[in-house]
Structure 1
């Protein structure tokens, strides 16, 4: 299993970083997770649009799904249209982004497979088995746990504190965790977002082997986020920087 970080900026992209976007590959299968703002140009450094085998979206905020639109346009309107792209997302999460174009323009370019992470916990895409958990956010959000060939990657999407996080990341080779703020989340967002310190606490509780912090607020100090996580977690901690390649279990 190989994870390539395409972006990890929270809320909006910066000059140097796209928003959330992660390419996970195993045995020739290419799974794109959360194609947020500015992810498409980064994806094209690695793959042609038609080479993506499936997309999984954790929730409907545009910093996690906006660049699904140019991906589908490229697949539908190119000289050699690609087959329908399987799209996995919580029910209703992609309604806005799929409605950006005139009716019928992207017809046949995707196969929407909506799910409810609270009641349909298990998905599959190629060699990947994907366990989902409903996690608290401003909109319905699905935490993901991908496994293939005995390797595991857990990803939070955006989430507030939840006992389900320890279950999601239990003994995971890599825990990719939202860490919008280093230490404390503002009170109005505390039920719906996480800090690096909390990510470290969840990783320690889960026994995850490696922690990747992502979705940092633009301008936040990455070193401060790592330091905050390390106060709670004794394993390897990094920020998920664009272009980073991680192979869970190695």
Structure 2
């Protein structure tokens, strides 16, 4: 399994980075995980829009799903439209994005498969397990498994005893880390710190940790240092173009270290 970061900026995109977006590939299947703001241009650096086989969305905040609209436009309005794109999302999560155009305009561009966080299902070669994790809106923590490797992803979440279960023994734990050491009181039930992400990675026995969804302007090195207080293995910070090959530890460590900038 290979993960390519399209973006990992929390809340809004910056000049240097798109919001949450990840391309996950295995056995020739390309799964787009969370097409947040400004991720489509990054995706196009890695292939055409018709090369995406399915989309999986953790929750309905636009920094995780807004670029589903231009993705569907680019596919559905082309001269030779590809087959309908399977879109998997929690119930109601993409209603607002799909409502940006009149219903008939992109009706043939996608097939919506809604699920409830807690469901288990398949997407291509991936087995997908989901957990309902605390956030401002319903959010699905996602565990993608193949016979060779496991990727665990929090989406956006606050503290939860389910997070170590989600990430148990994962080859890569992709964790939200909006803040470094402390979340403002009002948001504390719904977001994580880099320090807590490191603690969860340690509890889960994950092989590697990648921090994502950092608040714009956060110093990636500071976030890494906070996570390293509890997690002694490889720690990276999501940045555009970073590639993690699950099962290829040497190459992954090399790339994480060289691209650890936000």
Same fold (TM > 0.5)? yes
Superposed counterparts of 1:53-132, under 5 Å: 53-118=53-118, 120=119, 122-132=120-130
TM-score with structure 1 setting the length: 0.98
Query: Matched residues in 2 for 1:224 and 1:46: separation?
Result: 30
Query: Matched residues in 1 for 2:174 and 2:107: separation?
Result: 33
Superposed counterparts of 1:1-250, under 5 Å: 1-118=1-118, 120=119, 122-250=120-248
Displacement of 1:97: 0.1
Displacement of 1:79: 1.0
Q: Deviations over 1:178-223 (max 9, x none)?
A: 0001111111000000000000000000000000000000001111
TM-score with structure 2 setting the length: 0.94
Displacement of 1:249: 2.1
Query: Matched residues in 1 for 2:20 and 2:121: separation?
Result: 21
3-state DSSP of counterpart to 1:92 = coil
Q: Deviations over 1:76-107 (max 9, x none)?
A: 00011011111111000000000001221001
Return 5+ residue gaps in structure 2 as ranges: 249-262
Displacement of 1:149: 2.6
Return 5+ residue gaps in structure 1 as ranges: none
Displacement of 1:248: 1.1
3-state DSSP of counterpart to 1:211 = strand
Displacement of 1:241: 1.1
Query: Matched residues in 1 for 2:51 and 2:148: separation?
Result: 25
Alignment root-mean-square deviation, CA: 0.6
Which aligned segments of 4 or more residues in structure 1 are displaced greater than 4 angstroms?
A: none
